[in-house]
Protein backbone atom coordinates (compact mmCIF):
# COMPACT_ATOMS: atom_id res chain seq x y z
CA UNK A 1 0.00 0.00 0.00
CA UNK A 2 1.38 3.45 -0.92
CA UNK A 3 1.35 5.94 1.95
CA UNK A 4 0.25 9.47 1.18
CA UNK A 5 0.14 12.80 3.00
CA UNK A 6 -2.90 15.07 3.12
CA UNK A 7 -2.69 18.66 1.86
CA UNK A 8 -6.16 20.17 1.95
CA UNK A 9 -8.24 17.61 0.09
CA UNK A 10 -5.36 16.34 -2.07
CA UNK A 11 -3.16 13.43 -1.04
CA UNK A 12 0.60 13.90 -1.82
CA UNK A 13 2.59 10.67 -2.03
CA UNK A 14 5.26 10.34 0.67
CA UNK A 15 7.91 9.60 -1.95
CA UNK A 16 7.31 13.06 -3.46
CA UNK A 17 7.87 14.66 -0.07
CA UNK A 18 11.12 12.70 0.38
CA UNK A 19 12.32 13.70 -3.09
CA UNK A 20 11.56 17.37 -2.38
CA UNK A 21 13.47 17.21 0.91
CA UNK A 22 16.49 15.72 -0.86
CA UNK A 23 16.34 18.43 -3.51
CA UNK A 24 16.27 21.15 -0.84
CA UNK A 25 19.27 19.53 0.89
CA UNK A 26 21.25 19.44 -2.36
CA UNK A 27 20.51 23.13 -2.95
CA UNK A 28 21.62 24.05 0.57
CA UNK A 29 24.83 22.04 0.17
CA UNK A 30 25.56 23.79 -3.11
CA UNK A 31 25.04 27.22 -1.55
CA UNK A 32 27.36 26.34 1.34
CA UNK A 33 30.12 24.93 -0.88
CA UNK A 34 33.06 27.20 -1.70
CA UNK A 35 34.38 26.66 -5.19
CA UNK A 36 38.06 27.47 -5.79
CA UNK A 37 40.00 27.90 -8.95
CA UNK A 38 43.40 26.24 -9.29
CA UNK A 39 45.00 29.61 -8.60
CA UNK A 40 43.09 30.30 -5.38
CA UNK A 41 43.65 26.75 -4.16
CA UNK A 42 47.40 27.10 -4.74
CA UNK A 43 47.45 30.44 -2.92
CA UNK A 44 45.66 28.94 0.08
CA UNK A 45 48.03 25.98 0.32
CA UNK A 46 50.83 26.08 2.94
CA UNK A 47 53.85 27.87 1.52
CA UNK A 48 56.99 25.85 0.91
CA UNK A 49 59.95 26.88 3.07
CA UNK A 50 62.35 29.13 1.16
CA UNK A 51 65.82 29.00 2.81
CA UNK A 52 67.22 31.90 0.79
CA UNK A 53 64.32 34.14 1.77
CA UNK A 54 64.69 33.09 5.41
CA UNK A 55 68.37 33.99 5.39
CA UNK A 56 67.80 37.34 3.70
CA UNK A 57 65.02 38.29 6.10
CA UNK A 58 66.75 37.23 9.31
CA UNK A 59 70.54 37.45 9.06
CA UNK A 60 71.27 41.17 8.89
CA UNK A 61 68.14 42.42 10.61
CA UNK A 62 67.89 39.93 13.48
CA UNK A 63 70.71 37.40 13.81
CA UNK A 64 73.65 39.81 13.71
CA UNK A 65 72.18 42.21 16.32
CA UNK A 66 71.24 39.27 18.58
CA UNK A 67 74.74 37.81 18.50
CA UNK A 68 76.37 41.20 19.01
CA UNK A 69 74.14 41.91 22.00
CA UNK A 70 74.85 38.53 23.62
CA UNK A 71 78.58 38.38 22.86
CA UNK A 72 80.82 37.72 25.88
CA UNK A 73 84.56 38.38 25.95
CA UNK A 74 86.26 35.20 24.75
CA UNK A 75 88.89 35.04 27.55
CA UNK A 76 86.11 35.35 30.14
CA UNK A 77 84.15 32.55 28.51
CA UNK A 78 87.10 30.18 28.09
CA UNK A 79 88.05 30.61 31.76
CA UNK A 80 84.46 29.90 32.79
CA UNK A 81 84.36 26.82 30.56
CA UNK A 82 87.61 25.55 32.03
CA UNK A 83 86.32 26.02 35.58
CA UNK A 84 82.86 24.50 35.06
CA UNK A 85 81.65 23.75 31.55
CA UNK A 86 78.01 23.18 32.50
CA UNK A 87 77.76 26.30 34.64
CA UNK A 88 79.38 28.37 31.90
CA UNK A 89 76.95 26.93 29.37
CA UNK A 90 73.95 27.83 31.48
CA UNK A 91 75.23 31.35 32.11
CA UNK A 92 76.52 32.33 28.68
CA UNK A 93 75.29 29.77 26.16
CA UNK A 94 72.19 28.71 24.33
CA UNK A 95 71.02 25.25 23.36
CA UNK A 96 67.94 23.20 22.62
CA UNK A 97 67.42 19.87 24.33
CA UNK A 98 70.58 18.12 25.43
CA UNK A 99 72.82 19.18 22.56
CA UNK A 100 76.05 21.16 22.96
CA UNK A 101 75.98 24.79 24.01
CA UNK A 102 76.52 27.54 21.45
CA UNK A 103 78.07 30.86 22.48
CA UNK A 104 78.17 34.39 21.11
CA UNK A 105 81.65 35.84 21.65
CA UNK A 106 83.85 38.83 20.91
CA UNK A 107 87.60 39.42 21.15
CA UNK A 108 90.62 41.27 19.82
CA UNK A 109 93.77 39.51 18.72
CA UNK A 110 96.53 39.17 16.14
CA UNK A 111 95.56 37.46 12.91
CA UNK A 112 97.76 34.76 11.44
CA UNK A 113 98.05 33.26 7.99
CA UNK A 114 94.75 32.04 6.58
CA UNK A 115 94.73 28.39 5.60
CA UNK A 116 92.10 25.82 4.63
CA UNK A 117 89.22 28.22 5.15
CA UNK A 118 90.31 29.27 8.64
CA UNK A 119 91.95 32.47 9.91
CA UNK A 120 93.89 31.80 13.13
CA UNK A 121 93.80 34.54 15.75
CA UNK A 122 96.04 34.82 18.80
CA UNK A 123 93.98 36.28 21.63
CA UNK A 124 95.65 37.47 24.81
CA UNK A 125 94.37 36.09 28.08
CA UNK A 126 93.75 32.58 26.77
CA UNK A 127 95.62 29.42 27.80
CA UNK A 128 98.55 28.56 25.54
CA UNK A 129 96.82 25.38 24.31
CA UNK A 130 93.68 27.20 23.14
CA UNK A 131 93.44 27.59 19.37
CA UNK A 132 91.09 30.27 18.03
CA UNK A 133 90.11 30.38 14.36
CA UNK A 134 87.55 32.27 12.31
CA UNK A 135 85.71 30.55 9.48
CA UNK A 136 86.41 32.58 6.34
CA UNK A 137 85.17 30.21 3.64
CA UNK A 138 84.44 29.54 0.98
CA UNK A 139 82.72 26.71 2.86
CA UNK A 140 81.03 27.79 6.10
CA UNK A 141 80.10 24.86 8.30
CA UNK A 142 77.93 24.34 11.35
CA UNK A 143 74.83 25.85 12.89
CA UNK A 144 76.41 28.37 15.29
CA UNK A 145 74.74 31.46 13.82
CA UNK A 146 71.30 29.87 13.94
CA UNK A 147 71.73 28.51 17.45
CA UNK A 148 73.49 31.48 19.06
CA UNK A 149 70.82 33.91 17.88
CA UNK A 150 68.51 32.51 20.54
CA UNK A 151 65.19 33.11 18.79
CA UNK A 152 65.28 30.37 16.14
CA UNK A 153 63.87 27.06 17.36
CA UNK A 154 63.12 23.69 15.80
CA UNK A 155 59.41 24.18 16.45
CA UNK A 156 59.29 26.97 13.87
CA UNK A 157 59.97 24.49 11.06
CA UNK A 158 58.15 21.56 9.54
CA UNK A 159 61.02 19.11 9.86
CA UNK A 160 64.73 18.65 10.51
CA UNK A 161 65.61 19.33 6.87
CA UNK A 162 64.10 22.82 6.99
CA UNK A 163 65.81 23.48 10.33
CA UNK A 164 69.18 22.53 8.84
CA UNK A 165 68.48 24.55 5.68
CA UNK A 166 67.83 27.62 7.84
CA UNK A 167 71.32 27.32 9.36
CA UNK A 168 72.90 26.94 5.93
CA UNK A 169 71.00 29.97 4.64
CA UNK A 170 72.34 32.13 7.48
CA UNK A 171 75.87 30.93 6.76
CA UNK A 172 75.41 31.83 3.11
CA UNK A 173 74.18 35.30 3.98
CA UNK A 174 77.16 35.85 6.26
CA UNK A 175 79.56 34.81 3.52
CA UNK A 176 77.89 37.15 1.03
CA UNK A 177 77.63 40.12 3.39
CA UNK A 178 80.93 39.82 5.29
CA UNK A 179 83.44 37.51 3.67
CA UNK A 180 83.11 38.25 -0.04
CA UNK A 181 84.87 41.57 0.43
CA UNK A 182 87.39 40.33 3.00
CA UNK A 183 91.09 40.15 2.04
CA UNK A 184 92.21 37.51 4.52
CA UNK A 185 95.81 37.56 3.30
CA UNK A 186 96.07 41.27 4.09
CA UNK A 187 95.14 40.60 7.72
CA UNK A 188 98.19 38.43 8.42
CA UNK A 189 100.06 39.91 11.37
CA UNK A 190 97.49 42.63 12.04
CA UNK A 191 95.38 43.23 15.13
CA UNK A 192 91.72 42.57 14.45
CA UNK A 193 88.50 42.61 16.43
CA UNK A 194 85.70 40.18 15.77
CA UNK A 195 82.24 39.11 16.91
CA UNK A 196 80.80 35.72 16.16
CA UNK A 197 79.50 32.42 17.47
CA UNK A 198 80.77 28.91 18.02
CA UNK A 199 79.43 25.59 19.18
CA UNK A 200 81.46 24.09 21.98
CA UNK A 201 83.53 21.00 21.25
CA UNK A 202 86.38 21.60 23.70
CA UNK A 203 87.61 24.81 25.35
CA UNK A 204 90.94 24.22 23.57
CA UNK A 205 89.45 24.37 20.04
CA UNK A 206 87.35 27.45 19.34
CA UNK A 207 86.23 27.73 15.71
CA UNK A 208 84.13 30.84 15.34
CA UNK A 209 81.64 31.76 12.63
CA UNK A 210 82.02 35.54 12.50
CA UNK A 211 79.39 38.20 11.94
CA UNK A 212 81.83 41.13 12.20
CA UNK A 213 85.57 41.53 11.56
CA UNK A 214 87.38 44.83 11.85
CA distance 136 to 181: 11
Q: Helix or strand or coil: residue 117?
A: coil
CA distance 145 to 143: 6
Enter the DSSP assignment of 181.
Answer: T
What pLDDT was estimated at residue 16? 62
CA distance 137 to 102: 20
DSSP 47-116: PPP-HHHHHHHHIIIIIHHHHHHH-EEHHHHHHHHHH-HHHHHHHH-B-STTS--EEEEEEEEEE---BT
Q: How many degrees, rounded to 5, is the angle at CA 145 between CA 142 and CA 151? A: 130
What pLDDT was estimated at residue 112? 98
* β-sheet bridge partners, residue 195: 106, 212
The tens digit of pLDDT for each residue in 8-32 reads 556 666 766 666 667 666 566 655 5
CA distance 122 to 31: 74
Of 173, 170, 178, give the one whose Cα is nearest residue 195: 178
Tell me the CA distances in angstroms from 57 to 61, 62, 126, one per residue in order: 7, 8, 36
CA distance 104 to 92: 8
What pLDDT was estimated at residue 193? 98
Each residue's pLDDT tens digit in the chain (214 positions)?
Answer: 455 554 455 666 676 666 666 766 656 665 555 556 656 544 555 679 999 999 999 999 999 999 999 999 999 999 999 999 999 999 999 998 888 999 999 999 999 999 999 999 999 999 999 999 999 999 999 999 999 999 999 999 999 999 999 999 999 999 999 999 899 999 999 999 999 999 998 889 999 999 999 9
What pLDDT was estimated at residue 47? 78
Amino acid sequence: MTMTALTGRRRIPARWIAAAAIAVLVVLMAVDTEYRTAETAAAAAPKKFDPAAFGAQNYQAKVVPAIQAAAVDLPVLVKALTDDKEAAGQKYGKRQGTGPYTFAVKATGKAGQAKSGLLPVTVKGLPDDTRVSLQIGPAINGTALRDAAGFITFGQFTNQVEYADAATALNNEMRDKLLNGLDAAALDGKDISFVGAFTLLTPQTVTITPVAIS
